[in-house]
Structure 1
Amino acid sequence: MMKLLTKENTAFVNWVRLCDIDNYYDCNLQKQEVEIAKPLYYASIAGWTGASYALLEMGADVNAQGGRYGNALQAASNGGHEAIAKLLMEKGADVNASGGEYGNALQGGSIEGHEAIAKLLIEKGADVNAQGGKYGNALQAASIRGHEATVKLLMERGADINALGGEYRLFSDSST
């Protein structure tokens, strides 16, 4: 697997072109290498803990930007891959890095109701009121999908129910 996860390997680029696990609906045989996220991102989104560890040991940039979710920590958080999220944070991943569809790792994990990951991110310093992404903030993301335990955690940790942003503008708009 590690031979595949080398961006210099044409097999990696062709794999992403044929079956991009970051976006299954985007089979693009003409996709350029600069449009493809780093191998660590793909290992993180797939939940491949061993490969993620090996790539980090080989010097992969833990904070490299790219992909639908923005970076490897955001991808692991959205996918519920707690062991990878922990590993990335141990290796210096920025818990407040912004970008991608959900804006940040906390929002990415909250939209799927991954309470354990949300708690871990908050303990590592994630801003519960950070704005950005499709839903505006983590509280809106968790509430729109009905993840009550994650909503409760975020509110206990100081999430602002009056914060504006995202498609639904206010927490009360997303919870109705």
Structure 2
Amino acid sequence: MAESEDTKKMVTLKSNDDKEFEVEEAAIIQSEMIKNMIEDGCATSVIPLPNIDSKTLTKVIEYLNKHITKDEDEDEDEDEADDKGKAVETGEEDDLKEFDEQFVSVDWEELFDIIMAANYLNIHELMELCCQSAADRLKNKSVRAVREMLKITNDLTEEEEREIINDAPWAFEGPEIDDTVN
């Protein structure tokens, strides 16, 4: 039996730009940090999140709502036919995979904001998804492209860089910046 809208426990989160978001507890406990706060009784009112802006928090909440764990529902539905459940799970997995692909199709800076938020909130699955997306975007890029994408300042002199290029020319091969960055 599913919970009604009125009986769902809600948690209020406050972004660093003072916007408040009411989130279902079942969704937000995917964050180890907030789950621990709730279990320890520290989340009695509004939970301030000084490291996350409202735009990023909106994206994180969107992810959490889509990935609400079905553990409670699975316990209740255990007596139902297994073959029906497997068909539904496969469809849900495909939907989640498609959602995840679209979710990480954001610009580079927004992806890093989400990574930082996932790290701060200790949301393992979101962190893994976003880091994989970042790694895929960096894959096979030239050193110059990676430096530019990650905004890394080259502190080598031209002579030092030429020496490195001579020692490991393969490291400087690969495509430059392209549309996979955004």
Normalised TM-score (structure 1):
0.29
Higher helix share: 2
Q: Which protein has the larger Cα radius of gyration, Structure 1 or Structure 2?
A: 2
Higher strand share: 2
